[in-house]
Amino acid sequence: MPVLNVVPLFTFVMITTYTPGPNNISSASMGLLFGYAKSLPYLAGIASGFVMIMFLCGSLSGFVNTIIPSLSIWLRWVGCAYILWLAFSTLQAGYSFSGEHLSGRLGFSRGMMLQILNPKVIIYGLTLYTTFLSPIVTEPFWMSLSAFLLAFNAWLSVSLWALFGSALKKYVYQPQIRRTINLILCLLLVYTALSILHI
């Protein structure tokens, strides 16, 4: 297996996957409104769409690295800028997930469609495969395995948000706790952003 810089990779994946975004917020709303069991088709749609987007991002990154290798350094800078922007957004996150905007239970196809229309997932995938996972993008087995593992991790994230949405809501609305959580996550993302420039 190609050598990967595991600590920054793990930090980036875990923070970006488990912090608020369209997938997590909508899953929390579904869990609060309909319960976990009735949310499962939607969560499965998210995971299925996620693996598809990861395949596409990995393939595109492999093409770029093979055909235009000099573009790789620029993509690292773009990835660094994106993660710094994500760190700033995380610092200000309000963790608001009201379910009032959901008129009905969302199903598998809506969960999958969210991935196609979710810029966070697309930019996340491109950043991941052009920086942290660039050594594996030309190896189909490792790229496929990574896409499935990333999708499984995304499914765990949306499941946790659906299961614990109401409990999280109770705590993250307390300003001191929210500021502390946001600051820790922000600093970890800044570390990750700077580390990808040295991969």
Q: What is the pLDDT of residue 155?
A: 95
Instruction: Classify each residue of 77-88 as buried b or exposed e, where b means 16 or more C-beta atoms within 10 Å of its C-beta.
Output: ebbbebbbebbe
With vertex at residue 28, the alpha carbon angle to CA 24 and CA 34, rounded to the nearest 5 degrees, is 140
109 in a structural domain: yes
Between CA 55 and CA 24 the distance in angstroms is: 21
50 in a structural domain: yes
1 in a structural domain: no
Q: Which two tokens stand for residue 112?
A: 């999958």
Task: Kindly give the parts of the chain with pLDDT less than 70.
Answer: 1-2, 32-33, 64-72, 75, 79, 86, 90, 93-106, 165-173, 192, 196-199
Residue 97, sorted as left (phi over 0), alpha (psi -120 to 50) or beta, turns out to be beta
Q: What is the pLDDT of residue 189?
A: 72
Q: How many domains does the chain have?
A: 1
pLDDT tens digits, residue range 16-36?
888 877 788 778 777 766 778
33 in a structural domain: yes
Instruction: Name the residue range of residue 157's domain.
Output: 6-94+103-198
Q: What is the pLDDT of residue 159?
A: 94
Cβ-proximal residues to 88 (8 Å cutoff; 6+ apart), any chain: 186
Between CA 15 and CA 77 the distance in angstroms is: 19
For residue 45, the tally of other CB atoms under 10 A from its CB is: 21
181 in a structural domain: yes
Q: Which two tokens stand for residue 183?
A: 């600051």
